[in-house]
Amino acid sequence: MHKRKIRMGMIGGGLEGFIGATHRKAAFLDGHIDLVCGAFSSNAQTCIETGASLYLEEKRCYASYSAMIKEEALLPCDIRMDFVSIVTPNHLHYPMAKLALEYGFHVMCDKPLCFEIKEAEELERLCKKNNLIFGLTHAYTSYPMVKQIRKMIEDKKLGKIRKVIVEYPQGWLSTSLEDTNHKQAAWRMNPSLAGISCCMADIGTHCLNLLEYTTQLEVQYVCADLSTYGKNRSLDDDGNVLLRLNEEVKGILHASQISVGEENNLNIRIYGDLASISWSQMTPNTLAFKQQDKIAQIYSAGASYLEDRAKYNTRLPSGHPEGLLEAFANLYQNFAFCIQDKINNKSSSKEKLDFPGIKEGIRGMLFIEACVHNSKSGQKWTKV
């Protein structure tokens, strides 16, 4: 078997943004992915400058995503990109992903996936038809300790799950940044670019993904109280949600962008009848495992006693902290490995295939819809 580096083209991610650089560093970290082209900005100058700063040839800095997809498709197969990474505002995910898939490129797409379920289904159809891989960047579930939790729950270390609490408070939108030329804030608060929700779509879906990934349960009903604290906003900037999952599990999910002083405090607590687990994104290299009336246990990333799936997604021995870029890089690396396997007509292992895709994207979309709907209604529970 011959392996080669995988070639990435990026859509969005111009210099002035933050998310493009994050994706690129995550893609570069392990050395399996090269950036070969980009349509970084609708502003041609920005696009070329971004490309130059990334050591790209000007001819592969495209003026539009469609130009990039169509022209790359014409290049020899040992030169053209293998996949596109879509890091644009939400409303563009669908047309971009669709075109890329139609032209035979694998897709890594930022979340939330798209606006309509039928769009998601179309993407799914195209993937199957063209034998393509689709990744969705719910990067938080690529932390090794999150994978560890999933395995421990799968192995019934917690017994029967009873209750789950997942939180994602941030404070960055506590003032109306969107009125101050803050690009990120502006599009997120614009329904035509962001969709029907800001907070629930942007970070509530991370909560959902973290919850469903670790427990392998599904949220079936929500009772939501979404809020818009900022002035002149038409979308939610905060939401409190009661959950009913399958197997009679209950829970709470809350996400906020107006929780002043909170940085990026995604965390989860899962209680079974035998034990509980808690994990927090801001201290991602440990997790607490507790049984009633027993000595509490702290697992440490990088340790020899961890599950293989956690180890496989860790680079450093315990005590050498890894962070979000490494989690993000796990997602990209596993995605790249799956493309390498495709190239070699090899089926990919469960360990490599362990990243979110269209299925998780649809879950997020259903969740957003159910929350927005329930919050407006007088109804107590709304089916997801």
Coil vs helix vs strand at 217: coil
Quick one: which of 197, 205, 256, 330 contacts a second copy (CB under 8 A)? Answer: 256
Q: In sequence order, what are the beta bridge partners of 227? A: 238
Quick one: which of 12, 135, 204, 251 contacts a second copy (CB under 8 A)? Answer: 251
Q: Which amino acid is at 304?
A: S
Q: For residues 155 and 293, which CB has a smaller minimum distance to a second copy in the complex?
A: 293
Window 133-192: residues binding a second copy (CB under 8 A)? 162-163, 165, 169-172, 174-175
Count of residues binding a second copy (CB under 8 A)? 92
Q: Which amino acid is at 16?
A: E
Q: Is 18 in the site for a second copy (CB under 8 A)?
A: yes
Window 317-376: residues binding a second copy (CB under 8 A)? 317-326
Q: Which amino acid is at 49?
A: E
Q: Is 383 in the site for a second copy (CB under 8 A)?
A: no
Q: For residues 118 and 378, which CB has a smaller minimum distance to a second copy in the complex?
A: 378
In 3D space, the residue among 23, 243, 21, 219 whose CA is nearest the CA of residue 111 turns out to be 23
- Computed over its alpha carbons, how large is the radius of gyration of the chain? 21
Give the nearest distance from C-beta 70 to a second copy in angstroms: 26
Give the nearest distance from C-beta 144 to a second copy in angstroms: 12
Q: Is 59 in the site for a second copy (CB under 8 A)?
A: no
Q: Is 31 in the site for a second copy (CB under 8 A)?
A: yes
Q: For residues 5 and 129, which CB has a smaller minimum distance to a second copy in the complex?
A: 5
Give the contacts of 199 (CB within 8 A, at least 6 positions apart).
173, 226, 235, 236, 237, 238, 239, 255, 256, 257
SS (H, E, C) 230-266: CCCCCCCCEEEEEEEEHHHCEEEEEEECCCCCCCCCC
Element (H, E) at 67: helix 65-72
Quick one: which of 94, 105, 213, 271 contacts a second copy (CB under 8 A)? Answer: 271
Q: Is 252 in the site for a second copy (CB under 8 A)?
A: yes
Window 209-238: residues binding a second copy (CB under 8 A)? 223, 225, 227, 229, 238
Residue with tokens 């309509």: 116
Torsions phi, psi for 48 (to 5 deg): -70, -40
What is the distance between the alpha carbons of residues 321 and 317, in angstroms, rounded to a whole number?
9
Q: Is 304 in the site for a second copy (CB under 8 A)?
A: yes
Q: For residues 41 and 259, which CB has a smaller minimum distance to a second copy in the complex?
A: 259
